[in-house]
Amino acid sequence: MKEIFQWLRKIEQHASEIYQKASVKLSHDEFFSTFLSQLAEDESWHCRIMDSALSQISAAKNPPISEITFDDSTASRLEKPLVILSSQIEKNVVSRQDVVNCIVDAEFSEWNRIFLYAINILKEESKEFQYAAASIQEHEKRIRKFLDLLPSDIIFSKKILELPTIWEQSILVVEDDDPLRELVSVILSKTGRIDTAANGLDALEKVKRNYYNVIISDIDMPDMNGLEFFESAIKTDPLLAKRFIFCTGNITIEKEKFFLEHGVSHIRKPFDIFQFQEIINKRLSESL
């Protein structure tokens, strides 16, 4: 398994460097150049995730064992699109079509499937690797959006846009009212995977174990209220704050002050179910 992580680190680093070089070569085209620069940043971050994975494997008493074979021939096949693009950049003959060919052939190949396989092996051990899996999905979504906006003279297989989702959005609904908790779960059921909790104490345990794209929480609940839950949760992960949405009907001056101080969104009860869905969808699109 260690060999797979080492290869993934190498190819992520290689991709980051090549996309950055391509961004410079195509600097005259702002659309292409900006996108490639973002892609390079994504790959650089994935490289750091692999560093973390390798550290965890090295420290493990019983390191995971891969159930798939991985040899030089497999690596060579997956690296080929990047090798071709690198050569074109070095020869100063790279075009926008060349870049698109590389992105489609590399990013939608088994490369990312192997990345996800490796991450899935570790994600039960740490939320960091759940977040990595979610980031791969967003990475692919950005690429799909980029491909959709390409001019008609640049050609690629449209089948690439029909590939299956590799990460399902994950939402935590924290609400002590059983019928409302069930309603919100049903409303969002087509949006992603839904976990629920009836109070902040139960929710906090789930947040410690799992990565959530969005957390929707009531405030007035038994055992641990929503504000206490929020403060405890962000101690474990400060980035959770931007993924929180409070949903409450009793909004006092103190609560409004709390929302402002922490920069957290809120929805007032009673709410319109269609507007509620729009707010959650918007937050999901910003969650990474």
- For residues 225 and 250, the answer to whether their CB atoms sit within 8 Å is no
Could you give the domains of the chain? 2-162 (1.20.1260), 170-286 (3.40.50.2300)
Residue 226: which of 172, 160, 187, 175 has the closest Cα? Answer: 175
What letter represents residue 288's amino acid?
L
Residue 126 reports pLDDT greater than 90: no
| Global pTM exceeds 0.75 | no
Q: Give the integer Cα–Cα distance in Å for 88 and 74.
A: 23
What are the pLDDT digits (tens) for 194-246?
999 999 999 999 998 888 989 999 999 988 999 999 999 999 888 888 889 99
Q: Give the integer Cα–Cα distance in Å for 90 and 110.
A: 26
More reliable by pLDDT, 255 or 56: 255
Average pLDDT along the chain: 87
Residue with tokens 């693009």: 85
Q: What is the pLDDT of residue 80?
A: 94
Q: How confident is the model at residue 172 (pLDDT cuts 50, 70, 90)?
A: very high
Residue 171: which of 201, 135, 208, 213 has the closest Cα? Answer: 213
